[in-house]
């Protein structure tokens, strides 16, 4: 099976995976929930360990957003179990989300997690999937750069805010340099609305208006 990149806005490929919490069917078992599937290059490595601790520290905040976490690497399940035990014993952090044991590499290949020039380990991929099983966002980090978990949490909040309110999310939201914690409303789609918006409060122009929600 060759590596390929999934498409945003499409259904996540159906997968049956072996995890530290038993067998899971993706995205079926998470229907009605958001979930984040993230890969790491290998167990028992320093950067990956810092990431797992950081994800666990924020796990309750993800769950408040109806969002679950799922890790993955091309390691066997017993390696995951021993690594999770090591983290608990040595760092006093209990990893409570499942980790996929993709020891044959089929999931990684299906989702394009193995990149040429980075060996046979997975890159640090992040897939954000909505309650309908639709792939909403992908991020790829090189092996040498750990992820910012606060940004991934912001991503989920931003996507949910956009879906609920029919708005767009500005850069660095909710601390944008121009509009602070406001969101961007859709641009005018006809001349009448465009004319009405010119000069209105919270409008830079007819195509750039914002509001607080």
Q: Out of 48, 67, 203, 209, which one is annotated catalytic?
A: 48
Is residue 210 within 8 Å of 182, Cβ to Cβ?
yes
Buried-exposed string 28-61: b where 16+ CB fall within 10 A, e elsewhere: eebeeebbbbbbbbebeeebbbebbbbbbeebee
Please classify residue 82 by burial: count the beta carbons closer than 10 Å to its beta carbon, then call 0-12 exposed, 13-18 middle and 19+ buried: middle
Is 67 a residue of the active site? no
Please classify residue 125 by burial: count the beta carbons closer than 10 Å to its beta carbon, then call 0-12 exposed, 13-18 middle and 19+ buried: buried
Catalytic residues: 48
């Amino acid at each position: 099976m060759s590596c390929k990149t999934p498409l945003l806005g499409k259904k996540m490929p159906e997968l049956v995976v072996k995890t530290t919490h038993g067998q899971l069917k993706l995205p079926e078992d998470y229907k009605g929930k958001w979930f984040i599937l993230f890969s790491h290059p290998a167990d028992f490595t320093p950067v990956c360990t810092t990431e797992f601790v950081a994800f666990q520290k924020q796990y309750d905040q993800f769950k408040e957003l109806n969002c679950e976490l799922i890790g993955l690497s091309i390691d066997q399940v017993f390696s995951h179990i021993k690594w999770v035990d090591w983290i608990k014993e040595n760092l006093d952090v209990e990893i409570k989300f499942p980790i996929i044991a993709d020891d044959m590499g089929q999931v990684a290949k299906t989702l394009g997690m193995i990149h040429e020039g980075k060996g046979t380990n997975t890159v640090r991929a992040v897939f954000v999937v909505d309650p309908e099983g639709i792939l909403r966002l992908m991020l790829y980090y090189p092996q040498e750069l750990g992820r910012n978990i606060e940004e991934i949490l912001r991503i989920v909040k931003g996507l949910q805010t956009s879906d609920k309110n029919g708005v767009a999310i500005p850069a660095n939201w909710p601390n944008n340099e121009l509009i602070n914690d406001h969101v961007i409303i859709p641009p005018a789609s006809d001349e009448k609305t465009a004319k009405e918006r010119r000069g209105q409060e919270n409008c830079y122009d007819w195509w750039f208006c914002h509001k607080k929600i």
